Amino acid sequence: MTKFDEIYQDMVRKIMLEGIDEINKSKQAGSERATYITRAIPGMHFTTDIEKDGFPLLTLRKIPVKAPVAEQAWFIMGSRKPEDFLREYTKIWDAFTNPGDVVTVAYGYRWRKHFGRDQLKLLIDLLRAEPGSRHGVVVTWDPAQDGLSLQKKKNVPCPYTFTVNIIGGRLHLHNIVRSNDVILGVPFDVFGFALLQCLLAQELGVRPGIYSHSISNAHIYDTHFEAAKTLMERKNEHQKIILELPQNSFKEIENRNRGVVDAIIENIDKQYHPSEAITGIKIVAY
């Protein structure tokens, strides 16, 4: 097992054994509200050192490597249409598009265009000029549109802000998440944001450091309880994954270089030998 496997297994075990059951309702498009239970814990947090512990990719079950790599590239491009690059690799955002095939709350669009500032560019410019700055904050949440309403939307940002610091010659990223589905969401989000951390570190000429992940509401859906029990019991001998990025990866992704994206996927794939997939795990829309 990798270090991240151990961290993740501890999270799942803590929620299953100590979590509080709450009744919730979900409205799927064109259907009645479905009632389900979440077993939740408030304020979960973990850290992992990418340089020391390896890239945090879950090996206790098979994760589709192609999707989170392509998704993060799509974010960096600042797009909000899945047909623009993303759909060639995955259709995970198709359920959140409007009739114009636009994801109105696309993370990358929020980072690069929505607030009238290119936050990623400004982040890189700031830390290149002043590596010790503590102002490296990127925000996804728009208080003019998100939350604080009984009106349900297709998608509201879950990872809603992250902070980047360079300390000791290493780039550290702290991801703050309002709500995380621990079985499906956590492995995917950690993968994507840790990849972003490594891309930013390379772009700024420093080493990747500690990835931190803070969740306000960490939960497991009742339909995922059996998968959680399976994950709590699994062991393997997987070695840590060392991510090797092509040169100038961040800029090449900005320039929509599919070859770089494919090379990142290939680099991870050749090291990734996970335990078998757990089938039948479905997203609960809420």
The predicted-structure confidence for 59-118, as pLDDT tens digits, reads as follows 999 999 999 999 999 999 999 999 999 999 999 999 999 999 999 999 999 999 999 999
State how far the Cα of 245 lies from the Cα of 261, in Å rounded to an integer. 9
User: Which residues are catalytically annotated?
Assistant: 158
Quick one: average pLDDT of 42-49? Answer: 98
- pLDDT for 12-32, tens place per residue? 999 999 999 999 876 544 445
Would residue 189 count as lying in a domain? Answer: yes
The pLDDT value given to residue 116: 97
Residue 284 falls inside a structural domain: no
Confidence of residue 33 (pLDDT cuts 50, 70, 90): low
Cα–Cα–Cα angle for 157, 7, 14, rounded to 5 degrees: 80
Residue 36 lies in a domain: no
> 99 lies in which domain range?
43-218+239-269
Residues 185-193, mean pLDDT to the nearest whole number: 98
Q: Write down the pTM of the prediction.
A: 0.96
pLDDT at 283 over 90: no
**DSSP structure string for 159-202:** EEEEEEEEETTEEEEEEEEEEEETTTHHHHHHHHHHHHHHHHHH
Domain presence at residue 90:
yes
State the pLDDT at residue 151.
85
Check whether 207 has a pLDDT greater than 60.
Answer: yes
Interval 220-237 mean pLDDT: 97
Selection from 124, 120, 69 nearest residue 259 by Cα: 69
Question: For position 27, what pLDDT does the model report?
Answer: 53
Rounded percentage of the chain residues whose pLDDT exceeds 90: 92
**pLDDT at 226 exceeding the cut of 50:** yes
pLDDT at 91: 96
Q: What is the mean pLDDT of residues 251-264?
A: 98
233 falls within a domain: no
Average pLDDT of the chain, as a whole number: 95
- Which of the pair, 190 or 27, is modelled with greater confidence? 190
Q: Per the domain annotation, does 135 fall within a domain?
A: yes
- 3-class secondary structure, 69: helix
Pairing of strands 207-221, 170-181: parallel
Task: Judge whether 98 lies within some domain.
Answer: yes
What is the predicted pLDDT for the residue at 273? Answer: 98
> Domain containing 151 — which CATH number?
3.30.572.10
Q: pLDDT-based confidence at 120, cuts 50/70/90?
A: very high
256 within some domain = yes
Domain count across the chain: 1
SS3 37: strand
Place 37 in a pLDDT band, splitting at 50, 70 and 90: very high
